[in-house]
Structure 1
């Protein structure tokens, strides 16, 4: 778990994630909660063009490559990279409600091979669409443990009195010079605001490789994320 500064996460299986900054320096992986004006994750360096926004999408095709540098809207905003792969999903003022599921989840999971699932960048229980723009192939461990823990923490924060969850964002990063559709690593972040006061904000982030983690490293990352949520003024799940 790491404050995101546009860096790329690296680690080996069974080890906690570490970031390598664009300058090549290794950065430690603590989760941080900033008291005010938290900075949001920087977009992938691959995305050099500005995405084009489209009207609310009734149906997004379940294909490996969508429109390039495009923003689809289905309650929340879903942006693709310069190859048409899902790059970022963002909810400005998060609310919870389960959306209809789709067969596209299984198809996207199959693109990753064994031990992969079609993971929601924004959970279906947080009004995330089950269409391709919000689905990426992730390992079962990443989907059911790391992403699930972050989503559950967001819902816990929403149920905390006088708390808002803003700028809930998941970003998928792919290997450089590789046209594959399986992300190499992902980052998740959310801003916790207290009493509707912009001066009472805390940033909670988590970054991880898209690999088959062991239980130990996953538990460490989840606990650090929960600690950051507490520091931001939100009860931990």
Structure 2
């Protein structure tokens, strides 16, 4: 059994209309992320943070999985138990395309979390400052998103998977955000073959044994077809 770990970044969802933070005119330019993507920003102005993520939740709900999402779901279905998707994305397009084994290391826009007790639940379409936790009733509801300065989810499981991987593939990620930027080095040290599939070379492209560049909707289905011997 070949163990495959696939890291996906925001670039895989760009063709579904969900731009990356680094797009020209994208979220980096339109918002001060210290105000909308940090615990301190949330403490200062929870209404602003909720408005920001309410808009992102609406955009994600309206987006449609593209050919790259569909191809990865097809790979998982054809090779059950062999393919783990680790994603930096907070949308649910992998799941809506049919993928099952997906670890959201930065959380999910479809989920809410209580900052007081840690309980999580499905987020409503609109969240507001002062919304009560359904478990402890504290008015401390926040998006279940890993913000800057917080520790990503599922890291122990991710490190274990990387150490056991025969193949590590990074798709649509800039290679600039740690700890994900170090995954290729960890997988390579453990003996995995490494492949980058990206629109353009990432900041860590030289760490990969192989790289292919182009639109995700083209290069990911082509790679999956190769993997399935088609």
Q: TM-score, normalised by structure 1?
A: 0.27
Q: Which has the larger radius of gyration?
A: 2
Higher strand share: 1
Higher helix share: 2
Q: TM-score, normalised by structure 2?
A: 0.28
